[in-house]
Amino acid sequence: MTSQLAFNPIRKVIPVLGLVLLMLTTYALPLAAQEAPSELKLTDPSAPGFEPAIDMYDPWEGWNRGVYRFNYGFDKYIFLPLVKGYQFITPEPARQGVTNFFNNLFEIRNFGNNLLQGKIEGCVNTVFRFAINTTLGLGGLMDPATDAGFPEWREDFGQTLGVWGAGPGPYFVLPILGPSTVRDTTGLAVDAVGEGLWLNFLVNAPDWSTGTEDKVRWSLTGLRILNTRSNVAFRYYETGSPFEYELVRFLYLKNRQLLIEQ
């Protein structure tokens, strides 16, 4: 009798516990179903929101960090003072004209890489941009093509290699030029050779006096370098992050990944 009285409260609690477990199961199943896509997107390319992992392979990190510090010193004590001098003597509208001129001059690179990537629309767009800006844009100093519906389709050979299936390879910080990868460094070299041949052709086309070609070529190259750096807002060790090297590496690799996937 006593044992039955002791067991009675337990028997009353069992149905309550069963009801609680049933309610928890009822609410937990939908929540688990809602969480499944966020878990799947990490591994399943067909799931909504899937993002492939960024390959941040950096086996030469010691070298890269050393070059990063060198670039900081070069930028601070040599490059930026020259850029500030260029900005001081060249009004902003004139600098914009210089930017437009070089963008138009080297549309040949965009055309070639769009063609190699099979982007026919990009090729047609680039041809129209070059024609409009060279004529109506006064040799490329202005950019009426963008207003006419022909925005720049900027492509480089590093992107072309990525479209062809080449992986980025190790992360690589180039002296003065900054973040890159083995693939993008190869692409940079190919583009530089192509642009150099194109520039030589344009410079040698007029009937200059002896030695003038070299002066024009080096003047255009120097102006392009200064103008390009003046358009980049980045300053070393001013991001506010104690992990600036890692941050720059991530942003560079992510940006390149997105450009190739377009």
pTM: 0.79
Q: For 111-140, write each residue's pLDDT tens digit.
A: 999 999 999 999 999 999 999 999 999 999
How far, rounded to the nearest angstrom, does the alpha carbon of residue 68 sit from its chain's CA centroid?
18
Cα(152)–Cα(211) distance, integer angstroms: 35
- Quickly count: other Cβ atoms within 10 Å of residue 98's Cβ: 21
Q: Provide the 3-class DSSP secondary structure of residue 78.
A: helix
The rounded Cα 118 to chain-centroid distance in angstroms is 20
Burial of residue 3, with CB atoms counted within 10 A of its CB: 0-12 exposed, 13-18 middle, 19 or more buried: exposed
Q: Across the chain, which distance is largest between two alpha carbons, in Å?
A: 123
The pLDDT confidence band at residue 208, using thresholds 50, 70 and 90, is: confident
Q: Are 61 and 189 in contact (CB under 8 A)?
A: no
pLDDT band at 26 (very low <50, low <70, confident <90, very high): very low
| Of the candidates 184, 196, 218, 186, the residue with the CA atom closest to the CA atom of residue 106 | 196
Of 186, 135, 156, which Cα lies nearest the Cα of 259?
156
Query: Closest by alpha carbon to 125, among 140, 135, 115?
Result: 115
43 pLDDT exceeds 70?
Answer: no
The fraction of the chain above a pLDDT of 90, given in percent, is 74
* CB neighbour list of residue 195: distance below 8 Å, 6 or more residues apart: 106, 108, 109
Answer yes or no: are the C-beta atoms of 69 and 62 closer than 8 Å: no
Dihedral over Cα of 225, 229, 232, 236: its sign: positive
Average pLDDT, the chain: 85
